[in-house]
Amino acid sequence: MTERIRIGIVGYGNLGRGVETSIGLNPDLELVGVFSRRDPLSVTVADPATAVYALADLESFADRIDVLILCGGSKSDLPEQTPELAEKFTVVDSFDTHAKVPEHFATVDAAASAGGNVAIISTGWDPGLFSINRLFGEAILPQGKSYTFWGRGLSQGHSDALRRIPGVAGAVQYTLPSEDAIERVRAGENPELSTREKHDRECFVVLEAGADESAIRETIVTMPDYFEPYDTTVHFITAEELAREHAGMPHGGFVIRSGESSPGVSQTIEYRLALGSNPEFTSSVLVAYARAAARLAARGESGAFTPFDIAPGLLSPKSPEQLRAELL
Amino acid sequence: MTERIRIGIVGYGNLGRGVETSIGLNPDLELVGVFSRRDPLSVTVADPATAVYALADLESFADRIDVLILCGGSKSDLPEQTPELAEKFTVVDSFDTHAKVPEHFATVDAAASAGGNVAIISTGWDPGLFSINRLFGEAILPQGKSYTFWGRGLSQGHSDALRRIPGVAGAVQYTLPSEDAIERVRAGENPELSTREKHDRECFVVLEAGADESAIRETIVTMPDYFEPYDTTVHFITAEELAREHAGMPHGGFVIRSGESSPGVSQTIEYRLALGSNPEFTSSVLVAYARAAARLAARGESGAFTPFDIAPGLLSPKSPEQLRAELL
């Protein structure tokens, strides 16, 4: 492929911004522009050279775009956008509502097949890279158990729950994998662990003037569902510290497969992500899968695909010969 | 696929034995038999129900075998066997001489294409799973550095070097990833590290009666190339302890990719294997790729493939629908 792959970004939040940055790190890709439902003049892009267009004008770009990277949300944007746009374009999304993947796949597959286009759904890290590692784990060690741990990561829902407590001026909550649970899994104990047993919660809270620290701590650690069932730590900090130390969106986690290849012989596979920015990493994965989508489309394939259907080599800008010589 | 995939094993050392055991853990696979250059009556298989045949009779099994798993060595067996057998059969190997992969691929590809068969080479963990993780790492984080660490693992060559020292009655040597180097990589320092700086060496030595412990320790830690350049620890143990604690063939290691998705935002991907038995794990990987090979062959594909060319879903006995619903 000597021509650069021409990419359009649909939607410009944290994910769209991350894709814009990531494309700049990949010399074989070219950003045609950002397509937004907002007034293009009101969208402030990271790179002033990035063109911004109205989403309504997207169809006129059909001949100028190889792949659209869809950066909307899984709740209401992607269930409509991915099938709609897959009729006209090669598309990639990071749809992440696990329970609705089969339904999303079916609607996208119908649309992409009808349009003769390629659509890769649910790229990202979970679903995505973690899913691939769950699959490899059970295919290679059929006699074993798989564990997924999330964190250390910012949880929006739990941060919001803290902010709703009267007397709290600001707060963030991180979900952490429980060290104790990880050690038991790594040791090959194959324990039965609920999501609760696998995770701890850490809160950083800024109080309003005059708020009662010990009463608020009690409100937090006893909050049903959100904090009560977990090992929860609460730190009270200043507004300055919150702004300085907790503005990022870190995340990550582990997938561990522990099994026996014969009686008494234990084997452990562990895949771990430590992400400085959750949206930027997801964007980086989306961009690699956009390259794969362009290649599948160039081969004349069509329909919906997931990361399970994509050969690793398609993600790399290197040729198969180069990959075999340099990375195998 | 309702019929079971019929597998033949070529070569019966540690790897062949591991494949025999692994097939027993995979209900969609069926072992037709072991094919050996030795007299079949002299081969003692792990499962008495396993049939053993002379390798010379293999061709008469052409209609009864879907995939041959080649369990010979990379030095002299596979360079000849894989192309020769790929002319007649679908084959999978774990060829692991990194520098000769392009050459091996070319000869196997020519033979497999001529025969209209599928051949997947260099499965296993390095090359194999580690290679896939090196590829994913650089495709997702183009601005970054990749590190491969091996160990804790038994090194045959270094164990042999210990055993050749006069006064040594028995010994094993393990290669360990250097904790210090790992910490620097995990911390995102992106250090330049030689293989030597990345690894330590640990020796377990049984002395002959009357041997001089401190002289032998000195001989070991100053041995050029083998031990002198490394941080080397020597433990003197009894013959009983050697037999009891050091008869296994553990191995493993890490692939770490550390990069930035934007200035100052660091992202780390880490893939780690802790293997109770190196040959049994390699066998388990070979078996999963045998399933993929059968599926490619059923689709009418032909030629040589590497793990870079194999979509993850092909490794699993589950259907694409099941995989999307259960693992994505």
CA distance B91 to B120: 6
Would the pLDDT of B1 be above 60? no
Indicate yes or no: CB of A131 within 8 angstroms of CB of B98: no
Distance between CA atoms of B273 and B257, rounded to whole angstroms?
A: 15
Question: Stretch B120-138: mean pLDDT, rounded?
Answer: 97
CB–CB of B35/B53 below 8 Å?
Answer: yes
| Whether A135 and B323 lie within 8 Å, measured CB to CB | yes
A157-191 residue pLDDT tens: 899 999 999 999 999 999 999 988 888 888 878 88
- C-alpha span between B54 and A232 (Å, rounded): 64
Residue environment code for A54-73, b if the CB has 16+ CB neighbours within 10 A, otherwise e = ebeebeebeeebbbbbbbbb
Could you give the strand order of the β-sheet that contains B52-54, starting from the edge strand earlier in sequence?
Answer: B52-54, B29-36, B5-10, B67-70, B90-92, B118-120, B303-305
Bridge partners of A103? none
> Closest chain A residue to B95 measured between Cα atoms?
A328
Tokens of B11: 């070569």
**Interchain CB distance below 8 Å, A284 and B291:** no
Whose CA is closest to A95, among B328, B231, B252, B227? B328
Contact residues, chain A, for B267 at CB < 8 Å: 273-277, 280-281, 284
Give A64→chain B minimum CA distance, Å. Answer: 24
Tell me the pairing of strands B251-262 and A251-262.
unpaired
List CB contacts (< 8 A) between B317 and chain A. Answer: 139
- How far does the CA of residue B45 sit from the closest CA of chain A (Å)? 15
User: Which of B306, B302, B131, B321 lies closest to A109 in space, CA to CA?
Assistant: B321
- Contact (CB<8Å) B135/A277: no
Query: Higher pLDDT residue, B156 or B216?
Result: B216
The pair of structure tokens assigned to A323 is 């990959």
Q: What letter does residue A328 receive in the DSSP assignment?
A: -
H and E: helices and strands count for chain B: 11, 14
For residue B57, give how far its alpha carbon lies from the nearest alpha carbon of chain A (Å).
Answer: 30
Cβ-defined contact of B280 to A268 (cutoff 8 Å) = no
Burial of residue B243, with CB atoms counted within 10 A of its CB: 0-12 exposed, 13-18 middle, 19 or more buried: exposed
Contact of A173 with A150, CB cutoff 8 Å: no
Tens of pLDDT, residue by residue over B11-51, are: 999 999 999 999 999 999 999 999 999 999 999 999 999 99
State pLDDT tens for residues A225-241. Answer: 899 989 999 999 999 99
Yes or no, beta carbons of B262 and A277 under 8 Å apart: yes
pLDDT digits (tens, 9 = 90+) for B162-201: 999 999 999 999 999 998 888 888 887 888 888 788 899 9
**Which H or E element spans position B273?**
strand B265-275
Residue spans of alpha helices (H) in chain B: 14-24, 78-86, 101-115, 129-140, 156-163, 179-186, 195-198, 213-221, 239-245, 278-298, 320-326
Q: Which residue of A has its CA nearest to B321?
A: A102
Q: How far is B322 from chain A (nearest CA, A)?
A: 9
Measured over the CA atoms of residue B123, residue B126, residue B132 and residue B135, the dihedral's sign is negative
CB contact under 8 A, A315 and B135: yes
Average pLDDT estimate for B59-77: 95
Query: What's the pLDDT score for residue A1?
Result: 46
**Cβ–Cβ below 8 Å for B313 and A317:** no
DSSP string, A32-101: EEEEESS-GGG---SSTT--EEEGGGGGGGTTT-SEEEE-S-TTTTHHHHHHHHHTTS-EE-----GGGH
Residue B138: closest C-alpha in chain A: A316
Contacts with B280 from chain A: Cβ below 8 Å: 261-262, 265, 267
Interatomic CA distance for residues A123 and A53, integer angstroms: 25
Q: How close B19 gets to chain A, by Cα (Å)?
A: 10
User: CB B143 to CB A25 under 8 A?
Assistant: yes
Each residue's pLDDT tens digit, A109-131: 999 999 999 999 999 999 999 99
pLDDT of res. A186: 82
Residues of A in contact with B21 (CB under 8 A): 261-262
Mean pLDDT for all residues in chain B: 95
pLDDT of residue B2: 62
- For residue A316, give the nearest of B135, B281, B313 by CB distance: B135
Residue B157 pLDDT exceeds 90: no
Report how far residue B44's alpha carbon sits from residue B12's, in angstroms, rounded to the nearest whole number: 9
Q: Is B281 exposed, middle or buried (0-12, 13-18, 19+ CB in 10 A)?
A: buried
Average of pLDDT values for B53-69?
Answer: 97
Alpha helices of B116-250 — where are they, by DSSP H? 129-140, 156-163, 179-186, 195-198, 213-221, 239-245
Q: How many angstroms separate the CA of residue A249 from the nearest CA in chain B? A: 10
Distance in angstroms (rounded) separating the CA atoms of residues A257 and B201: 27
Locate the chain A residue with the closest alpha carbon to B130: A328
Substitution target from A15, A266, A324 for chain B, most B beta carbons within 10 A: A324
Tell me the per-residue pLDDT of A19-73, one tens digit each, with 9 for 90 and over. 999 999 999 999 999 999 999 999 999 999 999 999 999 999 999 999 999 999 9
Please tell me the pTM assigned to this model.
0.93
- β-pairing, A168-177 with A199-207? antiparallel
Taking CB atoms and an 8 Å cutoff, what residues of chain B touch A142?
A: 25-26
Distance (Å) from the C-alpha of residue B170 to the closest C-alpha of chain A?
24
Closest by CA to A286, choosing from B257, B139, B314, is B139
Contacting residues of B for A270, CB less than 8 Å apart: 270-274
What lies within 8 Å, CB to CB, of B120 at 6+ separation is: B91, B92, B93, B289, B292, B293, B296, B304, B305, B306, B307, B309, B310
Least CB–CB distance from A262: residue in B280, B310, B312? B280
pLDDT in tens, A280-306: 999 999 999 999 999 999 999 999 999
Q: Residue B114: is its pLDDT beyond 70?
A: yes
For chains A and B, CB pairs below 8 A equal 204
Amino acid at B125: W
